[in-house]
Amino acid sequence: MGLLFSHDTLPQRVLFGTGKAAEHLAAEVAAFGATRVMMIAGRRDANTAAGLSARLPVVLHYSDIVQHVPIESAARARAAAREHRVDLLVCLGGGSAVGLAKAVALDTGLPVIAIPTTYAGSEATNVWGLTEDGRKKTGVDARVLPATVIYDAQLSLSLPSGLSVASGLNAMAHCIDSLWGPRADPINAALAAEGIRALATGLPAITDDPAGIEGREQALYGAYLSAVAFASAGSGLHHKICHVLGGTWNMPHAQTHATVLPYVLAFNAPHAPEAESRIAAAFGSPTALEGLNALRKRLDAPRALKNYGFDAADIPEAVSLILPQVPAINPRTVTGENLTELLTAALHGTDAAGLSPVKA
């Protein structure tokens, strides 16, 4: 059969330019006609946020940001936005800052301008996430898609190499999972392949020269492509696993993704030949797993879930929480047995290539 697919492109303006964030932000705030801006940025970013918004009509600087957006944190931010009669949300920071802005937008319908400083990619998706009683819930809603994204590599220079690697591999996971996600299509695949290439170029450049701009620009560009592909394709097996681990054991998002990725790739790739050859080609390596592993080695990537708050005793609960969420279509059938094997290998950081092949 020829090509047969449907694809939704999300409406969003992207402004890219190193050293241009203040100029781009001022123009966007003016274009919105905003007069009461809520600036969401963590304490670490307070000075940068103040500098970027010095001449803007900011009525509230908000810094109470918690990873995985607990509902209590969302409620506080929503109340503050209402109290200050905010008409535009601007968020500066990683996925946690963007996630909080999305939580406010979900409730209020306020537009969001996102200025990301990690490679998490939340800025380019219409996906929200909230955590309640140790369970992370996600959903899709047009209201949470930032209207404008402003990428400025200068603002990511302070992201330490280790976090850059972990976050960049979070973006890599968006690319790889989008090749077998529930709504995978050729457009997502093209974006993902270019995202893999950009990240595989940018991340080593960052670790070689953390103060250099080119690697940071490539990583931001790759992160954007990865998020567009992920938003369109939907969560595949990898994201379902990391979503449960992050929400239930409050594990650090980027490091969890970076650790789990080679195991899901080793698990699925032998059963997804088209995805496997696309990933391999994007890495310029004989196989997808070899390409990813070579990059991970070069970057000294996060290796074992046991280093991030997960324990062998947690595996049965993780399996029981993940199994009902496994996408209906995955290249390889997921069972309690093979999922336990995958999580056990990721827990200890053993060679992903050693995962058992599917039984005939």
Ligand X SMILES: O=C(O)CCC(=O)CC(=O)O
What CA–CA distances, in Å, run from 312 to 262, 270, 316, 353? 19, 27, 8, 20
93 binds ligand NAD (CB under 6 A): yes
Q: Which stretch binds ligand X (CB under 6 A): 41-49, 121-129, 199-207, 346-354?
A: 121-129
Contact call for residues 65 and 46 (beta carbons, < 8 A): no
- Which residues between 227 and 266 bind ligand NAD (CB under 6 A)? 253-254
For residue 39, state whether it binds ligand X (rule: CB under 6 A).
no
Q: Which of residues 149-178 bind ligand X (CB under 6 A)?
A: 170
Is residue 239 within the footprint of ligand X (CB under 6 A)?
yes
Which CB sits closer to ligand NAD, 96 or 268? 96
- Minimum CB distance to ligand NAD, residue 118 (Å): 3
**Which class for 88: exposed (0-12), middle (13-18), buried (19 or more C-beta within 10 A)?**
buried
Query: Would you call 247 exposed, middle or buried from its count of C-beta atoms within 10 A (0-12, 13-18, 19+)?
Result: buried
Q: Contact between 67 and ligand NAD (CB under 6 A)?
A: yes
Contact positions with ligand NAD (CB under 6 A) in 94-123: 94-97, 99, 117-118, 120-122
User: By rule CB under 6 A, what count of residues binds ligand NAD?
Assistant: 28
CB of 170 to ligand X, least distance (A): 6
Are residues 190 and 170 in contact, defined by beta-carbon separation less than 8 angstroms?
Answer: no
Tokens of 212: 């250099």
CB 201 within 8 A of CB 168: no
Paired tokens of 299: 């970057």
Q: Where do we find the tokens 């976050």?
A: 167
Using CB atoms within 10 Å of the CB of residue 51, give its burial: 0 to 12 exposed, 13 to 18 middle, 19+ buried.
exposed
User: Taking contact as CB under 6 A, which single stretch among the options 70-78, 236-244, 270-278, 344-352 is the one that binds ligand X?
Assistant: 236-244
Does residue 347 belong to the site contacting ligand NAD (CB under 6 A)? no
From candidates 18, 23, 36, 44, binder to ligand NAD by CB under 6 A: 44
Residues at the contact surface with ligand X, assessed by CB under 6 A: 99, 122, 127-129, 138, 170, 239, 242-243
